[in-house]
Structure 1
Amino acid sequence: MKRIDCLGEICPYPMLLLQKEYDALCSGESVLLVTDHHCTLSAVGVYCDAQGFRYSPNEVIPGVWEITITAKQ
């Protein structure tokens, strides 16, 4: 699983990094995006819905989320 560390980064930077992993996601690899910017949660959701990816956000500590993104099979 690829990990994208976006702690301290604000949108659109996390989304740009996620979009760079499009080919990896399409080939079946999972991506873990770590963020502390709450707007990234909704942006990832919109992107994943549009691309047909599954995403699962998990607030690991208050204000920090790990979002697992995978291709739908």
Structure 2
Amino acid sequence: MKTVDCLGDMCPIPIIKTRKALKKTEPGETIKVITDHSCVLEAIKSNFKKCNITHEEVINGIWEISITKN
């Protein structure tokens, strides 16, 4: 699983990093995005609607977002 570290990044940087990672990903593969901004979670949900997205707040204020390419 590829990991995209977006800690400290503000939009649109996490979206750009995620888009680049997804281009290098085959259908069925998953990438994990780590962020400390809740707005990134909402932006990812709205920008990657064709992908399967799950998320978890692993530490207070830190989210791990799993994106599986269809």
Report the TM-score when normalising by structure 1. Answer: 0.86
Which structure dedicates a bigger proportion of its chain to helix? Answer: 1
1:36 aligns with 2:16: no
Aligned length: 70
Q: Is the 8 A contact 2:22 2:31 kept in 1?
A: no
Matches within 5 A, 1:5-20: 5-20=5-20
Q: Is the 8 A contact 1:25 1:70 kept in 2?
A: no
Code of the aligned partner of 1:15 = I
Code of the aligned partner of 2:22 = Y
**Distance apart, 1:22 and its partner CA:** 2.5
Q: Distance in 2 between matches of 1:23 and 1:8?
A: 23
**Distance apart, 1:26 and its partner CA:** 4.3
Runs (4+) of structure 1 exceeding 4 A deviation are: none
> 5+ unaligned residues in a row in structure 2: which ranges?
none
**Distance apart, 1:28 and its partner CA:** 2.6
Identity of aligned residues (%): 39
1:45 aligns with 2:51: no
> 5+ unaligned residues in a row in structure 1: which ranges?
none
Q: Is the 8 A contact 1:59 1:66 kept in 2?
A: yes
Q: What secondary structure does 2:3 align onto?
A: strand
Q: Distance in 1 between matches of 2:45 and 2:25?
A: 15
Q: Distance in 2 between matches of 1:3 and 1:59?
A: 16
